[in-house]
């Protein structure tokens, strides 16, 4: 009998035609999460198995961050389909546990069996009652649920369920470019998009010396938290200083943010296309700030033709904060380093910007040259989840 970690796919199993594509990617992502451990992955008949001699706790802790897994179990593969042998093996497994109430649940992947699942459960239940004293069946809330799956060449037994994150394996739905600031919202937007199977790269606009090294390190730290779900993460750091200063000097201040965001969108769209990313992703939420009214979003969005996905468009801030806490980005996001938007915030930003005025004002600066330069000089960093994750340990 071999102990394995059993992976169940949940929502993935609805992908009938291209399930193999999803499973190959899931296997790859699991192996990536375990790359410094000695482990292998196999799959068949709707189940995936991790074979390893490493500590199961450590393996499960890592695999818990892989999208596309509905549930995990510590399972036992009995290399037999003979019911008498199976009964004995299950008994030996249960003898190591302390409990009084139990229930057996059976599944037949081997449809050739002429016994029904209910009969199999009853037979095994009766055998256990006979061979272990003091046991009782409780069908509603048993202390131990004995799951037995009768397969073609072997039999699978498992007890406790460990919940996975769900979603689709990262990489199965292509690539997206996340606009990642140091705030609370954009890391959450990135997380939710990765959960739908989209692999992300991120882009951060910095404005040194108006923004500090700490602000940049904060974004790197957030990128590292996201890398955990993304098999590493490529971060593009774009120097935005000249563009921002040109806007600040030449354009009426109520339009600063609108024009600045139009420039960010343009640069993000160009980098997305260079990197073969099919969407932009950002943390905008309807109504949250002046640049997130519907008129503002429309005036900003017209600069690009790539789809812009806003996973948080309809979320309340408190719900966003709950997710930020659950993925451990919140404490980093609220560190008090200015990002480039907060420094150049005007007293009265326009709430309903006109597109015509945007066009008129943009003629006042050589924005195409500035954008070209910003892209040409941008810095690319590969961020891995495994490096030291304690940039701010004194502050957190
Ligand atoms: P966040 O909490 O994510 O910073 P926010 O509520 O502060 O968002 P804005 O500053 O208006 O809102 O930014 C909206 C979105 O634009 C952000 O969620 C992010 O996706 C993107 N963004 C803003 N600033 C930057 C930046 N410096 N670099 C990259 N993306 C940015
Ligand atoms: Mg922000």
Q: What is the mean pLDDT of each run of 10 residues along the chain (396 residues)?
A: 91 73 95 96 88 95 95 96 94 94 91 83 96 94 96 93 95 97 96 98 95 92 96 96 96 95 98 98 91 93 98 97 97 83 77 96 97 96 78 58
DSSP per position, 245-259: HHHHHHS-GGGHHHH
Q: Which of 182, 184, 185 to mutate to test the pocket of ligand 1 (most atoms within 8 A of CB)?
A: 185
pLDDT number for residue 183 = 94
pLDDT number for residue 237 = 97
Biggest CA–CA distance in the chain, Å, is 88
How do 69-78 and 155-158 pair as beta strands? antiparallel
Tally helices (H) and strands (E) across the chain. Answer: 14, 15
pLDDT number for residue 390 = 56
The CA distance from 197 to 193, in Å, is 7
Q: Which of 283, 285, 308, 349 to mutate to test the pocket of ligand 1 (most atoms within 8 A of CB)?
A: 283
Quote the tokens at residue 19. 């399930």
Residue with tokens 């040409």: 376
**E strands, the chain, where?**
2-8, 39-44, 47-52, 69-78, 101-108, 136-137, 144-150, 155-158, 162-166, 175-179, 199-206, 233-239, 279-281, 308-309, 379-383
pLDDT number for residue 18 = 83
Q: Under CATH, which number does the domain 2-166 receive?
A: 3.30.2130.30
Closest residue by Cα to residue 116 from 126, 105, 127: 105
Domain boundaries along the sequence of the chain: 2-166, 175-383
Please give the distance, rounded to the nearest whole angstrom, from the Cα atom of residue 270 to the centre of ligand 2. Answer: 21
pLDDT number for residue 345 = 79
Please give the distance, rounded to the nearest whole angstrom, from the Cα atom of residue 373 to the centre of ligand 2. Answer: 24
Equal fold, 2-166 vs 175-383: no
Q: Under CATH, which number does the domain 175-383 receive?
A: 3.40.50.620
Please state whether 64 falls in left (phi above 0), alpha (psi between -120 and 50) or beta.
Answer: alpha
Which residues, judged by CB distance below 6 Å to any ligand atom, belong to the binding site of ligand 1?
A: 179-181, 183-186, 203-205, 282-284, 288-289, 291, 339-341
């Amino acid at each position: 009998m071999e102990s394995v970690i059993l992976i169940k796919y949940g929502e993935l199993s609805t992908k009938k035609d291209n399930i193999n594509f999803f499973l190959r990617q899931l296997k790859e992502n699991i192996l990536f999460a375990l790359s410094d451990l000695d482990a292998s992955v196999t799959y068949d008949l709707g189940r995936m198995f991790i074979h390893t001699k490493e500590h199961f706790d450590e393996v499960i802790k890592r695999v818990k961050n892989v999208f596309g897994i509905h549930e995990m179990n510590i399972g036992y593969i009995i290399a037999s389909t003979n019911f008498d042998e199976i009964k004995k093996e299950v008994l030996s497994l249960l003898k190591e546990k302390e409990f009084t109430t139990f229930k057996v649940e059976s599944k037949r992947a081997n449809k050739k069996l002429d016994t029904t699942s209910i009969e199999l459960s009853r037979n095994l239940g009766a055998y256990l009652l006979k061979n272990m004293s003091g046991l009782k069946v409780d069908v509603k809330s048993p202390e131990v649920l004995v799951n037995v799956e009768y397969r073609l060449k072997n039999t699978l037994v498992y007890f406790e369920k460990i919940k996975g994150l769900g979603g689709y394996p990262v990489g199965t739905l292509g690539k997206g470019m996340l606009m990642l600031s140091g705030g609370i919202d954009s890391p959450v937007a990135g997380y939710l998009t990765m959960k739908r199977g989209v692999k992300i790269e991120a882009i951060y606009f910095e404005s040194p010396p108006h923004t500090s090294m700490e602000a940049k390190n904060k974004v790197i730290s957030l990128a590292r938290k996201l890398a955990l779900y993304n098999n590493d993460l490529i971060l593009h750091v774009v120097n935005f200083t000249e563009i921002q200063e040109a806007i600040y000097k030449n354009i009426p201040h109520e339009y600063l943010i609108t024009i600045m965001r139009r420039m960010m969108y343009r640069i993000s769209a160009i980098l997305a296309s260079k990197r073969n990313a099919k969407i932009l992703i950002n943390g905008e939420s309807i109504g949250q700030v002046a640049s997130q009214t519907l008129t503002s979003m429309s005036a900003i969005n017209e600069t690009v033709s790539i789809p812009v996905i806003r996973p948080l468009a309809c979320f309340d801030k408190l719900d966003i904060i709950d997710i930020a806490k659950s993925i451990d980005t919140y404490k980093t996001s609220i560190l008090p380093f200015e990002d480039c938007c907060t420094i150049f915030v005007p007293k009265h930003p326009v709430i309903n910007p006109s597109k015509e005025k945007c066009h008129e004002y943009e003629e006042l600066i050589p924005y195409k040259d500035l954008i070209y330069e910003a892209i040409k000089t941008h810095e690319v960093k590969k961020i891995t989840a495994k490096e030291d994750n304690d940039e701010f340990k004194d502050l957190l």
